[in-house]
Every structure is written in C-alpha cells, then in structure tokens.
Chain A
C-alpha cells in the first residue's frame, strides 16, 4: 500500500527531516507514527499526503510511484486517501452535512450516491442528528467526528490522521479511536501520527518511532516508548 525505500529529505534551511528511511505498510494495517517534535513525523505525513517529495529514494503509494506520477494526476491519487488533522479543518459557514458533501462534490458523485454515503458515514460517527448544525455549534470531539466522516465518505483505501486527538480530552479521544478501529475493521489502512501515549499503549498496534529523521523502532504490537 505504502512503500518508502531509502527516502531522504533535507529542507533548504539545512534541517534533515528524513534520513534514509525505508518502511512498508500493508493494506489493512493500523500504524502509529510516534516521536518527539522535529523527529520527521510531519515530513513523513506530508510525504504520504503527496505534499512533499523525497530528495532521494522512492515513494510508492497505492501502486503509484510518485517519481513517475505527473503532477496533474496527484489530485486523483489523493481521492484514494482520507485526511484528518488535529484542528479539524471544517468549513465554518457550511453545515455538517455540507462539510461532508464537500468531499463528494469534488469527485462529482451523483446526488443519490451522495445522500447514501453521507447518511452512512454520519451514522458511523454518530452525528446523524446533527447534520444541520454548524461546526461552531459542536464540541471539539463532534467536530473531529465530522472531519472523520468527510475523510471516509469517498471510501478511501488509506486514512491519514495527523494528531487527531491532539485537541481532545481522553473521553472524546477514545470515542475517536473507536471510530478509527471501526474504519480499520472494514479493511482501510490507517496511518496516524500521535503524541498520545495512553492511546498507543492501550491499542497495541504497529508503532513506528522516529527520531532525528531515522526510524529507531518498528514493532508490530508496540507501545509508545520504552524510554519512560
């Protein structure tokens, strides 16, 4: 699903963000990316979102070699991915329903398909009754659930989440994690960057730990870190 081979990335400031990283994530995996700030987590996430390209090495996402993919094709590859951010990134002047519909308008889904899928994903995140609410009327946890609904409404094969629980209290965080588990169960690959030690320790999923641009640990059923 996702393969990085000997990927390096140095920013023009001279900061080394990724130093000869190789990793492979299979279909249906649930992977946590952990590590301190500046370890290269966000660069890795940006690379998976096709925002940054490697200086050296190969990046293959969903069967497409990024080196050979024309820039124009990138939007189409992104449609096979769902993205979730720490700050939700909802459109404040659109309702919950419209925020989710937004993702489907872009792929020019039919009206019927749109209604069906949106109802399904809003049901999955438990927000059917809030379809007509605006983001400002929702709690942080609810807003993040809308963002998840939007990320999965087009049936992506990979979901990429960057600190999805970073702004949430433990209770809401668990609710979000349950939804991710649910999504993962249907075969969707999930890659999540997080700082949340409790979640990583309790979930017992694959953990890839980065430090100074290198992979220092890659465990199938790992915890957040042994250092503490």
Chain B
C-alpha cells in the first residue's frame, strides 16, 4: 500500500509516496538521498540512525515514514547547512570521529541534549549518548568534544 506523506525535512517541505512499510530511515536514505543517518542494527540498539523529530532524538529505523507525517525532521545534513556547528567542529578537532559511522547519530543525540539542557554535566552527556554505540570505542574523545563545544559557545 502506497502512502503519501508530507513533512518538513531540514526546514524544507517535502512530499513523498512510499510503501507503508518504509521506515523514516529508508525514506531519508533511499528516497531523498540524505545518507548521513546510517543503518547499524536496524533495531534501535545502536543509534546510528538518530535524527531529530520535532526536536527530539529518535531512532529513524524504528519509525515508519508515515508516522513522520506533518513532523519537522532534522538530520545531520540540516545541521550543517550554514557550515559546521561548534559541536561538529569540536568533534573534528578532538578526533572524536574515528571511522565516522556512528558520528551523525552521536552528533544528533548531543544536539538534542544541548537544545534541552545547554549546560549538561558529564553524567548527563553520557546518558544522552547511552543509546549510541561507537565500535571504535572513542567515547572519551566524544565526551571531550561535547565539553569543548560547551566551553566555546
């Protein structure tokens, strides 16, 4: 069954027609060419597919595109429209990227945190990325990057 969906992605309104079973992640990657969000596990365990839906971090692999009807989606591509954000720059400067696969998801989780809590503690940063796995295990560098972004704002 094909469904017509209208939603806003990175500030722009967009309409697509996809099979009902299409996840938001598949819609972004396969229908809209936004390949920043990644599929890791496909089951909500790894967070590589994290995007913001109405400002909140969600696993786009566990949301149907149809559920995003009328919603505002922000992906890593939308975040850097005006050049890299302080958070993104800090990830680069601290070498918190390593293989890079988890990075878009990590950044979107941290972005959601900073929007809700501009001055998080280390515990709160750890909690915010508890749903994101980095298999290079670069967690220390990621924490350092988030703290650096906080200092430089």
Same complex: no
